């Protein structure tokens, strides 16, 4: 009986939190689509992230040691 009750509570809490996240995401999405300022900021953040990852990849040390095989 306890497993049934706790399982049901878990399912209900999961449904409620997912519904809240879905509503919040939908609201933020509609606000972001209408905001030119948000779209401009997102574009620059995306470009900056790609440039930063490119620099990190270019500066990363590469080991030329063969990987050890495990048996």
Residues 16-68 have pLDDT tens digits of 999 999 999 999 899 888 999 999 999 999 999 999 999 999 998 877 777 67
Q: How many Å separate Cα 41 from the centre of its chain?
A: 18
Kindly indicate the confidence band of residue 71, based on its pLDDT and cuts at 50, 70 and 90.
Answer: low
Q: Give residue 56's pLDDT.
A: 95
Nearest to 42 by CA among 28, 24, 63: 28
Nearest to 41 by CA among 56, 31, 53: 31
Helix axes 2-34, 36-59, angle to 10 degrees: 110
The pTM for the full model equals 0.50
| Residue 67: both structure tokens together | 């990987």
| Residue 42: both structure tokens together | 């997102």
């Amino acid at each position: 009986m306890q497993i049934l009750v706790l399982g049901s509570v878990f399912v209900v809490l999961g449904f409620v939190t997912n519904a809240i996240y879905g509503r919040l995401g939908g609201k933020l999405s509609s606000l972001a689509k209408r905001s030119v300022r948000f779209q401009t900021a997102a574009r620059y953040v995306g470009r900056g992230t790609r440039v930063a990852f490119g620099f990190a990849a270019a500066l990363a040390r590469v080991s030329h040691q063969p990987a050890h095989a495990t048996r």
